[in-house]
Structure 1
Amino acid sequence: MRTSGKFNAVIDLDATVRDPDDPTKLLRAYDSGDHLQPSVKGYQKMAEAIDLNLFTP
């Protein structure tokens, strides 16, 4: 998907909240505590990662 050239953009939300030392896990700061769902801070971090200019003509 990222390299197919069939999309205008790809937003990699996982990259914004994953632990670089263990990419299969969320960073502790963004983990809701269940190790599956992002916390409120995690969702905020993902929202900040979206370039809103992608949605303008």
Structure 2
Amino acid sequence: MINIIKTFLSDQDGAVTVDWVVLCAAVVALSAIGMSKIAGNTLDLGDAVGTEIASQAE
């Protein structure tokens, strides 16, 4: 039984797959964070431009 546990813990099969899953999850998370920051700033900039254009039209 001890040998089975030692073999299981030292087995390297699938390790690359786990690395790729973690890497892809990190890329998706960072992309989502970046998009939320960009979207918020873009909306603020759009509002500022709209206000400036409206004030020039008066």
The interval holding the TM-score normalised by the smaller chain is under 0.3
Give the strand-richer structure, 1 or 2: 1
TM-score (ref. length: structure 1): 0.26
State which structure, 1 or 2, has the greater radius of gyration over its C-alpha atoms. Answer: 2
Give the helix-richer structure, 1 or 2: 2
